[in-house]
Amino acid sequence: MAAIDLYRRLSAFAVPGFTSQANDENTVNFAQDVAATGQQWATRCATMDNPQRSKVVGKIQWAVPPGGRQAITTDGYAISKFSTKNKEMLFRILAKALDEDSQRGAADLATPTRRAVLNDPAIQAKFRWYPAVSKCLDVGEPLPALAEFNEAAEVACKRIVQAIVGQMPVKAALDAGAAEVVELLTRRGYYRG
């Protein structure tokens, strides 16, 4: 409750429309010196140092969120078992894209998935956000392996936002969100009444 109340109080200083923004809007706000702090996808960090797109070149730093344990989400590669394409060739393309040389060459496009590349001092010096990314990977955690996680999070987040913007008292919002998540998971067979 204290954390949600803190967000509620800080919302007076947030940019307009903050409750419906995603990472793209946050990146623009950071780069235009409109927002002071927040989480950012690693793929958006280069924008901060691009003088054609950013007013804050060299003026910001990246760090592990306080306390760590932030969620780690990643993109992945897969070949569908239903694909009619040459699966051997697709596999070779993926293997080439993920080898060390390719990852070094593409480090400006995406966070290297190989630690040997990500933690290379030359790579970390060139892409100054990678040291923080590496530390985040050390303390971060994957999202829960629950098929209903995104659905449950959407329910809970809706109520949390209602508390933050003053549509509901904090305790009432959290209680409502918890009850709705329990009801969802009961319908899906996780709880028995």
Any residues with CB less than 8 A from the CB of 120 and at least 6 apart, and which? Answer: 104
pLDDT value of residue 87:
93
> Which amino acid appears at position 191 of this protein?
Y
Q: Are 74 and 141 in contact (CB under 8 A)?
A: no
pLDDT value of residue 108:
87
pLDDT value of residue 189:
95
Whole-number mean pLDDT of the chain? 93
Same domain, 151 and 83: no
Task: Answer whether residue 104 shows pLDDT above 90.
Answer: yes
Q: Count of domains in the chain?
A: 3
Phi-psi region of 38 (alpha: psi -120 to 50; beta: other; left: phi over 0): left
Q: Which domain holds residue 77?
A: 65-142
Same domain, 118 and 152: no
pLDDT value of residue 159:
98
> At which of 36, 60, 84 does a domain end?
60
Average pLDDT over residues 2-9: 94
Report the C-alpha gap between 20 and 110 in whole angstroms. 26
pLDDT value of residue 147:
94
Question: In three state form, how does the secondary structure of the chain look?
Answer: CHHHHHHHHHHHHCCCCHHHCCHHHHHHHHHCCCCCCCCCCHHHHHHHCCCCCCCCCCCCCCCCCCCCCCEECCCCCCCCCCCCCCHHHHHHHHHHHCCHHHHHHCCCCCCCCCHHHHCCHHHHHHCCCHHHHHHHHHHCEECCCCCCHHHHHHHHHHHHHHHHCCCCCHHHHHHHHHHHHHHHHHHCCCCCC
> At which of 60, 89, 106 does a domain end?
60
Task: Answer whether residue 85 shows pLDDT above 80.
Answer: yes
Percentage of the chain lying above the pLDDT 90 cut: 79
pLDDT tens, residue by residue, 18-64 = 999 988 999 999 999 998 888 888 989 999 999 999 999 999 999 99
Per-residue pLDDT band for 75 (boundaries 50, 70, 90) equals confident
Q: Show the tokens assigned to 41.
A: 């996808």
pLDDT value of residue 181:
97
Residue bearing tokens 């706000």 = 29
pLDDT tens, residue by residue, 135-171 = 999 999 999 999 999 999 999 999 999 999 999 999 9
pLDDT value of residue 193:
65
Same domain, 26 and 6: yes
Same domain, 133 and 186: no
